[in-house]
Amino acid sequence: MTPEHRNELQEAKRLLENPSVAARFADVLAGPVEKGMKLLPAGARGTILAAATKSLNVALKAAVLTLGEGEREASNRMHKISAAVSGGVGGAFGLAALGVELPLSTTIMLRSISDIARSEGEDLKSGEARMACMEVFALGGSSGGDDAAETGYFAVRAALASAVSEAATYVAGKTAVKESAPALVRLVGQVATRFSVSVSEKAAAQAVPVIGAAGGALINTLFMSHFQDTARGHFAVRRLERIYGAEVVREAYAELPAG
């Protein structure tokens, strides 16, 4: 691997091992997300998982129908502005608005993720590349049952590999999908389990009474930035894998410092 590519892999690792959504919120809002967790109503976890699953299904349809359109560079700033607007709604109405706001913001994030993927050389007309975009939502958060060995970037990809492959095969060449298709149900279920952790942290931050619409916009901007960074790291790794092979990149990644 050339020194230039090794530096790019180092930057990708920094992005992929970045602070959690909760840490970003705490840094900016000067308060722990755990405080907001206590303010969430009983049964919020089920509501959030359902909202995350619904949002991923909405985004999945967008992935199949629109991700192959056009050729352009990533427009991170515009997507952050769009996410901030949708976050203002969530901040104003709290958890009750999550079922409306989250599908919109998730779809906006998917568009941003797809722009980043395209800028790294992905062919978004292929089912495999589209499902790699969906995979980013799982890479940005852990699940409750994870241990330290299961939360690393390559460990999560390995855990999702079979579901991603099956879903990619199913959507290849399709202009419409059935949410009930077993391949998609399996992928969305696995991704939603991890994505809902980050969504819970977002909901908890917005549950603090003083947040309001302005704070909701800020939270969604931070939320968007987190997944944009994850996407940048993910698709940089995939680009290097196309050059050197997956095993070479994985070994080099393991040798690099996390910071």
Distance, CA of 82 to CA of 116 (rounded, Å): 16
Distance, CA of 16 to CA of 235 (rounded, Å): 11
Encode pLDDT of 40-54 as tens digits: 777 888 889 999 999
Distance, CA of 162 to CA of 149 (rounded, Å): 19
- Please give the radius of gyration of the chain, using alpha carbons only, rounded to the nearest integer: 18
Question: What token pair was written down for 247?
Answer: 């095993």
Encode pLDDT of 96-124 as tens digits: 667 778 888 888 889 889 989 999 999 98
Q: Are the CB atoms for 49 and 200 separated by under 8 Å?
A: no
Distance, CA of 21 to CA of 222 (rounded, Å): 8
Q: DSSP for 69-122, please give it.
A: S------HHHHHHHHHHHHHHHHHHGGGGHHHHHHHHHHHHHHHHHHHHHHTT-
Torsion sign, CA atoms 217, 115, 188, 249: negative
Q: Are the CB atoms for 87 and 101 separated by under 8 Å?
A: yes
Provide, rounded to the nearest whole percent, the portion of the chain with pLDDT above 90.
41
Encode pLDDT of 16-71 as tens digits: 987 778 787 777 776 667 777 777 777 888 889 999 999 999 988 887 777 766 54
pTM of the model: 0.85
The whole-number pLDDT of residue 79 equals 46
- The Cβ-side half-sphere exposure at 156, using a 13 Å CA radius, reads 26
Distances (CA, A) of 256 to 17, 157, 253: 12, 18, 5
Encode pLDDT of 159-190 as tens digits: 999 999 999 998 887 766 777 889 999 999 99
Distance, CA of 60 to CA of 162 (rounded, Å): 17
- Residue holding tokens 């999908």? 177
Distance, CA of 72 to CA of 165 (rounded, Å): 26
3-state helix, strand, coil in the chain (%, to 5): 80, 0, 20
Rounded to 5°, angle at Cα 221 from 217 and 227: 145
Residue with the larger pLDDT of the pair 242 and 42: 242
The single-letter DSSP state of residue 19 is P
